[in-house]
Homo-oligomer: A and B are copies of this chain.
Amino acid sequence: MSKPPRGFEQSEFESRTERAQQLMRTDEIDAMLLTTEAQVRYFSGFLTQFWQSPTRPWFLLVPLMGKPIAVIPSIGVAGMQQSWIDDIRSWSSPQPQDDGISLLLSTIAELPRRFGRLGMTLGNESYLRMPARDYRNLETELTGLELVDCAELMLKLCSKKSAAEVEKIRYVCELASDSFNALPGFAGIGQSEREILCSMRKDLLDRGADHTPYIVSASGQDGYGDIIMGPTDRILEDGDVLIIDTGSVYDGYFCDFDRNYAFGHASDKTCKAYETVFRSTDAGFAAARPGATTTDVWQAMWSILEAAGARDNDVGRMGHGLGSQLTEWPSLTANDHTTLEAGMVITLEPGMEFEPGKLMVHEENILITESGAEMLTKRAPVEMPVIT
């Protein structure tokens, strides 16, 4: 597919803001105060790597009516001026005595009040990217405004992707799929995990990824025991299985999926585990449609694994949302019960421990459509690829 255009039309941000404001009215929230990269970017389009610097806090206010208001360090003003945001207020940060808090308070004081409630993301899968002390002070100083949790509102809002968002995710899914398919051409016995992943990082760049914030690997004879720690300097040998999991990014949107490779030869038990987890993914895909729940999809995947004698594993779930973050709400678990809706992008990530300390994990990224689901990644090979 051709490279999707960068950024979004202004209508995208208008639509996001209007959808948020509708939910805010339902939840009786006058304004949301947001602090994280994903949140600020969602409403403003402000896309920068500068969030790597943890020093300065950034704030975005989404009022019940009108455009969001940015309250940000002065270093970000030139960048924010390129966005659709008109009302940009700034202070010279870092300023330990008052790092934006008085400016934030005076900005909040100007907002119309209907419900007397200010939303911040306080609940599940949220954190505040600001000093907790300042959050507490804010609460004290916000006379006449109650601080309420809007985490669920934000998770739900961001979980439904627009067509333009889906195109970015699809693009990075496809180019990472191509890179995985090309991997046997640049990986082989005698190389280390680290060397192979370094080559794959470069290949992903060549194919059009902006960068790869996440690429991990694990390997071992017949299987691997962990999926979040690598790469290591371990040298691939005959009989090894290597898993690579990547979250690569195009224009601020992630893919998140993995592929498995055998080196030299693949043992029968490894092939059987691969085949089981492949079928489990198929079952999850077949169950994924609007109206089904995350738990329905989990159950469809788990029943295949269970029938094959799977042992439990420590991952804690078998898939999740994704988009502007590597992992987003909801989670595919035995008790999540979130109803899937068209526009959601999720991962299917069944995994089993088929022997003590030996895992087999597959992952694909899919879009929930009006009628079912669509694969965004190019489906993994039916049989375990063997690199000889």
The residues of A with any CB-CB pair to B shorter than 8 Å are 6, 38, 48-50, 52-56, 73-79, 82, 90, 92-96, 99, 120-133, 135-136, 149, 151, 198, 201-202, 205, 211-216, 225-229, 233, 247, 314-317, 320, 325-329, 331, 333, 336
Q: Are A132 and B132 in contact (CB under 8 A)?
A: yes
CA distance A94 to B327 in the complex (A): 12
CA distance A95 to B334 in the complex (A): 11
B127 touches A128 (CB 8 A): yes
Chain B residues within 8 Å of A132, by CB: 120-122, 126-128, 132, 135
**Cβ–Cβ contact B201 & A211, under 8 A:** yes
The one of B52, B135, B316 that contacts A214, using a Cβ cutoff of 8 Å: B52
A-B residue pairs in contact (CB < 8 Å), sample of 17: A49-B213, A50-B214, A50-B228, A78-B225, A90-B314, A92-B316, A94-B124, A95-B316, A96-B336, A120-B132, A122-B133, A123-B131, A123-B133, A127-B127, A127-B131, A211-B212, A213-B213
Report yes or no: B127 in contact with A129, Cβ–Cβ below 8 A.
yes
Q: Which residues of B contact A327 (CB under 8 A)?
A: 52-55
- Contact call B316/A49, Cβ cutoff below 8 A: no
Q: Is B331's CB under 8 angstroms from A226's CB?
A: no
Q: Which residues of B contact A48 (CB under 8 A)?
A: 216, 228-229
Interchain nearest-CB distance for A132 vs B (Å): 4
A93 to B325, CA, bound (A): 18
Q: Are A127 and B130 in contact (CB under 8 A)?
A: yes
Q: Which listed residue (B55, B214, B225) contacts A320, Cβ 8 A? A: B55
When chains A and B are docked, how far (Å) is the Cα of A6 from the Cα of B228?
17
- Whether B316 lies near A74 (C-beta < 8 A) is yes
Residue A201 contacts which of B125, B131, B205 (CB distance < 8 angstroms)? Answer: B205
In the complex, which residue of chain B has the Cβ closest to the Cβ of A151?
A: B131
What are the 10 closest A-B residue pairs judged by CB atoms, nearest first? A74-B314, A50-B228, A53-B327, A78-B226, A79-B229, A122-B132, A122-B133, A52-B326, A52-B214, A92-B316
Q: Which residues of B sit under 8 angstroms from A133, Cβ to Cβ?
A: 122-123, 149, 151
What's the least CB distance linking A152 to chain B, in Å?
10
Known: A202-B205, A229-B78, A326-B53. A124 touches B96 (CB 8 A): yes
> Shortest distance in angstroms between A142's beta carbon and chain B's nearest beta carbon?
14
**Shortest Cβ distance from A45 into chain B, in angstroms?**
12
Q: A49 contacts B315, CB within 8 Å?
A: no
Which of A120, A121, A125, A325 is the most central at the interface, judged by chain B CB atoms within 10 Å of its CB? Answer: A125
The reply to whether B122 and A75 form a contact with Cβ atoms under 8 Å apart is no
- List B contacts of A78 (CB < 8 A): 225-226, 229, 314
Q: Determine the residue in chain B with the shortest Cβ distance to A247.
A: B52
A314–B99 touching, CB < 8 Å? no
